[in-house]
Amino acid sequence: MSIMPLEKRGITRSRLILGFMGFGGDWETGEIGKGELADAERGLDTALETGITMFDHADIYKRGKAEAVFGKCLKNRPGLREKIIIQSKCGIRFADAANPARYDFSKSHILGAVDGILERLGTDYLDILLLHRPDPLMEPEEVAEAFSSLLEAGKVRNFGVSNMNAGQMKLLQAYIGSPIVVNQMEMSLRKIDWVDQGVHVNQSAGLETHFSEGLIEYCMLESIQLQAWAPLAKGLYTGRTDFASAAEEKTAELVARMAKEKETTKEAILLGWLMRHPANIQPVIGTTNLARIKNCQDATRQASLMTREEWYSLYIASRGNRLP
């Protein structure tokens, strides 16, 4: 396996990320109780024990409580901040009494959002700030001003995006002075349109593939780290039985069989399949289940051991039909 882009840039060597969206209690406003804090501390410690040193947040997760509970964890662990990488996202605004739910890449919102993120996390800086979802009203010059201000103030060290296509990234990169280092997309053995997009070139099947054409290749060319959210397909192949098709059931059986033969976990097989791709995809694990976090520990090794034939067997099983 080659080196992933974030390692090339000297940002992190953590091949996995723990997403903190599930921690902090419910999605309602309110105080963080002792139970929520204890859960978050166990999640953080389990991730560190597993070798995960990068953590993913967003200002909207649990309406800010996910970041706040992580900040409390950091406060209880002096010296940990400099040993880990923290990224967070902004740009999504909830509906309120006067306004609809919307996306907002205005300079004022970005700057205000980052100040709130840093306060909740109890840190002076973010290693990476991501723009959460594309804003149709994005003014790239305004985003560039916000990024420049954050960089000069030392509040953010690197910038990235989430759920953006290649064209949107190119437009933004043309204006900002610092490189886009991350793009976070939904990718898993269940959501395989990112693979199908390339396979279906010059095929009528490509008309039904909904993934940004050339995005994978663009990120690889520009050393932009592709991060996969929902990489475990929300438990579809690791325990759930509510299969929507025969292909899903057969894929789950194949994953289980491979895990047994390789004396590893189903989670390691799923993540290993993603990480085996030449783009060096970095999975963002969203579970709060401590056992599942531990089950991901062998993913890097499984990625290095996975043969082309094994990779294609999993891909074709998920497709539910042969290659064109």
Question: Would you list the DSSP string of 30-62?
Answer: ----HHHHHHHHHHHHHHHHHT--EEE--TTGG
Beta bridge partners of 159: 129, 180
Q: Residue ranges of the alpha helices (H) in 16-158?
A: 34-50, 65-75, 107-121, 140-152
Phi/psi at 54 (nearest 5 deg)?
-130, 140
Give the C-alpha separation, 34 to 44, whole Å: 15
Give the C-alpha separation, 104 to 212, whole Å: 22
Beta strand 128-131 with 282-285 is unpaired
Nearest CA to 118 out of 144, 159, 86, 149 is that of 86
Work out the number of other CB atoms within 10 angstroms of the CB of residue 33: 11
Q: Point out the catalytic residue in the list 61, 125, 175, 312.
A: 61
The question of whether 103 is a catalytic residue gets the answer no
Give the C-alpha separation, 17 to 83, whole Å: 14
Active site residues: 61
